[in-house]
């Protein structure tokens, strides 16, 4: 199955009451855990690669991992997505590297500048068959090079700007700010999310697929395990899974998950080192982490309602004429 853009996925998710899981890839074990989970659940996938992951692993290695994942996954629908592209140059490079979906995050800029930058990326991507995600409004927290605002509830997406932004940029999906934050330390108390903002945005811009960032639940089973075995992660709190399910049924078509992957891997590594201090075989501590990621991702696919949707996405892709980005047409 060739890599595809997000369009066939979002076409179904928008009216289907589910969201596609977008999982960040940083190494082989994380990728293997994600792929094994999706295979068992027959779920379409968005594999996300951040600027930091490109710098850490190098694109030549990441491309080999992705090719292996596609071969191993059989006929699963998979998109490769740049997460939080922070410059036009990076977005163009990722298109030229074979990404099928690009995010340009110009949300820190004023409205008109955000439009200008986003449209420049769209104008490069669309002729090459690549979809574009943009962002309007700002999240809190910190994740790699992305530093959020101190109070995300004061920087929510303005529903009255969305239709104009969409029309003038031509973006294919929009990451919206509804009070979530990046990282493990999302909230200091019970989270207050502006879920009604999703409905308002959909009323103003019907048909626009929405994206939810900062969506990890910061699963406490992993936090407790990390702290039990020598970690120090107090007062961590994430987005309730009930809220993730709710927005997935409302028109949010893509939900980003990264922190929960890191927590699952870290928890099992710490446990192995604590219980077997003489262990030095990486397979013996990365293996349990990979298994924990697989089980966690399987759970998340059900939270998102996307388990079992792979065949429907393939059918939609075929109805669209089996489109692939230009990068893959002669491969």
pLDDT at site 323: 95
Considering the candidates 11, 15, 72, 83, report the single residue annotated as catalytic. 83
Query: Does the active-site annotation cover 83?
Result: yes
Average pLDDT over residues 101-127: 96
Average pLDDT over residues 222-250: 91
By CB neighbour count within 10 A (0-12 exposed, 13-18 middle, 19+ buried), where does 99 fall?
buried
Tell me: pLDDT of 213 over 90. no
Tell me: pLDDT of 22 over 70. yes
pLDDT at site 195: 87
Report the share of the chain in percent with pLDDT over 90: 79
Tell me: pLDDT of 237 over 70. yes
Domains defined for the chain, CATH in brackets:
7-321 (3.20.20.70)
**CA dihedral sign, ordered 300, 202, 195, 140:** positive
Question: What is the band of 181 on the pLDDT scale with cuts at 50, 70, 90?
Answer: low
pLDDT at site 177: 87
Name every residue whose Cβ is closer than 8 Å to that of residue 45 and which is 6 or more positions away in sequence. 20, 21, 23, 34, 35, 38, 73, 76, 77, 78, 79
pLDDT at site 191: 66
Mean pLDDT lowest among 16-20, 92-96, 184-188, 290-294: 184-188
Report the share of the chain in percent with pLDDT over 70: 91
Name every residue whose Cβ is closer than 8 Å to that of residue 81 and which is 6 or more positions away in sequence. 6, 22, 46, 47, 48, 49, 99, 100, 101, 102, 103, 133
Task: Give pLDDT tens digits for 132-166.
Answer: 999 998 664 444 444 444 454 556 899 999 999 99
Average pLDDT over residues 108-132: 97
Q: Which of 25-34, 155-164, 195-204 has the highest mean pLDDT?
A: 25-34
Inter-residue contact 236 to 185 (CB < 8 Å): yes
């Amino acid at each position: 199955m060739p890599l595809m853009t997000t369009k066939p996925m979002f076409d179904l998710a928008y009216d289907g009451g589910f969201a596609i899981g977008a999982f960040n890839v940083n190494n082989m074990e994380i990728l293997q855990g994600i792929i094994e989970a999706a295979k068992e659940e027959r779920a379409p996938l968005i594999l996300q690669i951040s600027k930091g992951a490109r710098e850490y692993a190098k694109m030549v290695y990441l491309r080999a991992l992705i090719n292996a994942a596609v071969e191993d996954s059989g006929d699963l629908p998979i998109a490769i997505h740049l997460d939080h592209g922070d410059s036009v140059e990076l977005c163009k490079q990722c298109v030229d590297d074979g990404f099928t979906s690009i995010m340009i995050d110009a949300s820190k800029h004023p409205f008109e500048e955000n439009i200008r930058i986003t449209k420049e990326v769209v104008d490069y991507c669309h002729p090459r068959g690549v979809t574009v995600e943009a962002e309007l409004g700002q999240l809190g927290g910190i994740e790699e090079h992305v530093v959020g605002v101190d109070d995300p509830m004061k920087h929510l997406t303005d529903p009255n700007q969305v239709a104009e932004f969409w029309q003038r940029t031509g973006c294919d999906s929009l990451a919206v700010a509804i009070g979530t934050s990046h990282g493990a330390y999302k909230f200091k108390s019970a989270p207050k999310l502006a879920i009604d903002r999703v409905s308002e945005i959909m009323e103003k811009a019907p048909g626009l697929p929405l994206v939810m960032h900062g969506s990890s639940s910061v699963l406490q089973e992993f936090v407790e395990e990390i702290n039990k075995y020598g970690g120090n992660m107090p007062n961590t709190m994430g987005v309730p899974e009930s809220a993730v399910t709710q927005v997935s049924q409302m028109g949010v078509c893509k939900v980003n998950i990264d922190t929960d992957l890191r927590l699952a891997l870290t928890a099992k590594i710490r446990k192995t080192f604590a219980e077997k201090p003489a262990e030095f075989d990486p397979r013996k501590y990365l293996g349990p982490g990979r298994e924990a990621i697989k089980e966690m991702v399987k759970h998340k696919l059900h939270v998102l309602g996307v388990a079992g949707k792979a065949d429907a996405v393939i059918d939609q892709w075929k109805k669209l004429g089996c489109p692939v980005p230009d990068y893959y047409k002669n491969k």
